[in-house]
Structure 1
Amino acid sequence: MDFLFQPWHWFVSGFLIACTMLFLLLMGKKFGMSSNLRTFCAACGAGKVNSFFKFDWKSDVWNLLVVIGAMLGGFIASHYLSATDMPAISDATKASLSSINISTENQYLPVELFSISALSDIKTIIILVVGGILVGFGARYAGGCTSGHAISGLSNLQLPSLIAVIGFFIGGLVMVHLLFPLIF
C-alpha cells in the first residue's frame, strides 16, 4: 500500500482522465468545472433574476457531484494518503520566489499568499477579488474553463477549445513572467 502515499506518475491520471472522458462521451455529457457555478446558481433560483440561469439544471446535477468528489478526494488525499514529505521545490524556483519576497518554508503554499494573516492585507484582497472576477469573466467569455476546454474540448477535437487552450497558456506565461513579478 506504500504506492498510495507516493506521487503517481502522470500517465496514471492521464489514463484515468481518458477513461472518464470516454465514459462521458458515451453518455452524451460534457465535462467542465465552471459550468457547475451556473448549475448551482440555477438550482438556488437565479433563473428568476437572469435568463442565463433559466435552464434544466437537474440534468446537470451529476456534474455537481464531480465538484463534491474533487473536494472530498482532495481532502482525503491530503489528510490520509499523503506522505509527510512533499516533493522538493527546485533551488531555481526557491531563488526566484525569494527575489520577490515569497518564502518557500511552507513548500507549495507560501504564507504570503495562503494564510489567514494574508487576508488582512488590502493588496491581497484586491488581488483575490480582481483575479476572481477575471477568472469568472474569462471562463464565461471563453465558453468554459481550462478543464472543460483542455480535457473535454480537445478530446472532442473542437477548434475553439484548441484556441482557448493556447490562450490559457499564453495568459499563464504572461502572468508568471511579466505580471507576477510586478505584483509581488
Structure 2
Amino acid sequence: MNNLLELIQQPWPWYVAGPLIAVVMFALLYFGNSFGLSANFRNICSMFGAGKSCEFFEFDWKKQTWNLVFVVGTVLGGFIAHQFLMPSEVSVAISDATVQDLTALGVVDPGAGFVPKSLFSFESLFSLKGIIMFVGGGFLVGFGTRYAGGCTSGHAISGLSDLQPASLIAVIGFFIGGLLMIYFILPSVLSL
C-alpha cells in the first residue's frame, strides 16, 4: 500500500500526461469547443448580469456551461491532489545556480516550497514589492489576456493544436514577455 501511495505522489511522466492532454484536445476539437480558462471570467460576469451594462458581456453564457464545469473540476482536482496526493515534505528541485541567483536577488529560501514565502504571502502583499507583483502583475495578466484574445492555456494548448496563426504569435509573445520579465523587470522589482 505504501508503494502505491508513493507512486501516486510522483508527477506523471510526459508519456502519460502528454497523450492525455492530446485526447482532451482532440475531443474538444471534435465537439467544436476550444479550451481556455480566461473565458470563464467573461462567462461568470455574464451569468451575474454584467451584460446589462457592458456589451462585451452580453451573450448566452449557458452555451459555455461545459467550460465552467471544467474550471470547477480543475479546482476540485487541485484540491484533491494537494490534500491527498502530495508528499508531506514539498520542495522544488531547482539548480544550485538558480538558488544562488535568487538568493542574490534577496529571495529567502528559494526551492523550499512551490513559491517563495518571502514573496508570496499575506504579509508581503502590503509591501511595495507585493503591490507591484500582485496588483501590477494581476492587471498586466488581465489586460494581456483580453488584448491577446485568450490566456496562455487557451492559445498554447487549444489554439496551437487548432493551427491558429494568432495563437502562434501570442505564444511567441508570451515567451518574449517571460524572458523580459525574468531578466529585466523581476530583478528591478526584487531590489526594492
- TM-score range for the pair, normalised by the shorter chain length: over 0.9
Distance 2:184 2:128 in 1: 22
The answer (yes or no) to whether the contact 2:125–2:134 under 8 Å persists in 1 is no
Count matched residues: 184
> Are 2:76 and 1:72 equivalent residues in the alignment?
yes
> Are 2:184 and 1:181 equivalent residues in the alignment?
no
Percent of aligned pairs with the same amino acid:
53
Deviation at 1:75, TM superposition (A): 1.4
Deviation at 1:7, TM superposition (A): 1.7
Give me the TM-score of the superposition, normalised by structure 2: 0.91
Residues 65-104 of structure 1 mapped to structure 2, 5 A cutoff: 65-85=69-89, 86-104=91-109
Deviation at 1:108, TM superposition (A): 2.3
Distance 2:93 2:171 in 1: 28
Residue identity in the other structure for 1:124: G
The answer (yes or no) to whether the contact 2:92–2:114 under 8 Å persists in 1 is no
Give me the TM-score of the superposition, normalised by structure 1: 0.94
Q: Single out whichever of 4-13 and 143-152 deviates more from structure 2.
A: 4-13
Distance 1:151 1:15 in 2: 13
Unaligned segments of structure 2, at least 5 residues: none
Deviation at 1:89, TM superposition (A): 2.5
Residue identity in the other structure for 2:62: K
Choose the corresponding residue for 1:168, options 162, 171, 174: 174
The answer (yes or no) to whether the contact 1:33–1:67 under 8 Å persists in 2 is yes
Moved segments of 4+, more than 4 Å: none
Q: Single out whichever of 5-14 and 26-35 deviates more from structure 2.
A: 5-14
Residues 105-124 of structure 1 mapped to structure 2, 5 A cutoff: 106-124=112-130
Deviations 1:8-59 (A, max 9, x none): 2123221111010111111111100110000010001000110000001000
Deviation at 1:87, TM superposition (A): 4.3
Residue identity in the other structure for 2:67: N
Unaligned segments of structure 1, at least 5 residues: none
Residue identity in the other structure for 1:30: S
CA RMSD of aligned residues (A): 1.4
